Chains A and B, each alone.
Chain A
Amino acid sequence: DTEVTQTPKHLVMGMTNKKSLKCEQHMGHRAMYWYKQKAKKPPELMFVYSYEKLSINESVPSRFSPECPNSSLLNLHLHALQPEDSALYLCASSQDGLAGGAASTDTQYFGPGTRLTVL
């Protein structure tokens, strides 16, 4: 089973709203990721969690706030977004965490994404 689930599938929000995206996996994977993807472009890495700790933040604006409550769940809290933040937000997970000093070449399994529209 390589299923990663994401809710909601679609989200429309105003610039003053606060909303959250949710991602869940039950494969025992130790690394989880958030990506942002604009139309007809490749995904761009935002955050990586390894063993429930934030390992990589790709200089993402603070209006995006990730949270990893446990090893199966990953949230992305959204506040005061801009229209240019409208995109497909993809969550992914991979088996091993990012061990220090070790290369991690694990396959990342993606969820179906949340299509976010900011008005």
Chain B
Amino acid sequence: AQKITQTQPGMFVQEKEAVTLDCTYDTSDQSYGLFWYKQPSSGEMIFLIYQGSYDEQNATEGRYSLNFQKARKSANLVISASQLGDSAMYFCAMSRRGKSTFGDGTTLTVKP
């Protein structure tokens, strides 16, 4: 069974600063994918970044980077230069054979 743990129900960050959202996972599989999604209050689930379990380099997408530490089973999301529009719920997820397991999410609030 797969499990995703996000220990931060809510986070605050000042505009233009960087923030790290924590995610740890548990799986016995060797091949898996790790994802981060952003869900604003409108409800749409927006894909941010992907890390494959065999990828040696940390994934980056613009202001988003994924700090992947396989031995520690962690996949933290780093958002640099936070913007007011980054305020949303963020979900960490793991995918294996079509089944995605989501963490409980972290609500990020960016302060002006």
Q: Which residues of A contact B (CB under 8 A)?
A: 2, 31, 33, 40-43, 45, 48, 50, 55-56, 88, 90, 92, 94, 98, 102-113, 115
Chain A proximity mask over B64-107: 1 for CB below 8 Å, otherwise 0: 00000000000000000000000001010001111110111100
Chain A residue nearest in CB terms to B105: A42
- The answer to whether A45 touches B96, judged by C-beta atoms less than 8 angstroms apart, is no
Residue pairs across A and B with Cβ atoms less than 8 A apart, 17 shown, are: A2-B47, A31-B98, A33-B98, A40-B89, A45-B100, A50-B98, A55-B98, A107-B35, A108-B35, A108-B47, A108-B95, A108-B100, A110-B37, A111-B44, A112-B44, A113-B44, A113-B45
B102 touches A103 (CB 8 A): no
CA–CA, A107 and B43, complex, Å: 18
In the complex, the answer to whether A45 meets B95 with C-beta atoms within 8 Å is: no
* Chain B contact residue count (CB 8 A cutoff): 27
Instruction: Name B44-70 residues within 8 Å CB distance of A.
Output: 44-47, 50, 52-53
The 5 closest A-B pairs by CB, nearest first: A105-B33, A42-B102, A110-B45, A103-B31, A98-B98
Residues in B with CB closer than 8 Å to A41 are 104-105
State A105–B27 Cα separation when bound (angstroms).
Answer: 14
Q: Nearest Cβ distance between residue B57 and chain A, in whole angstroms?
A: 16
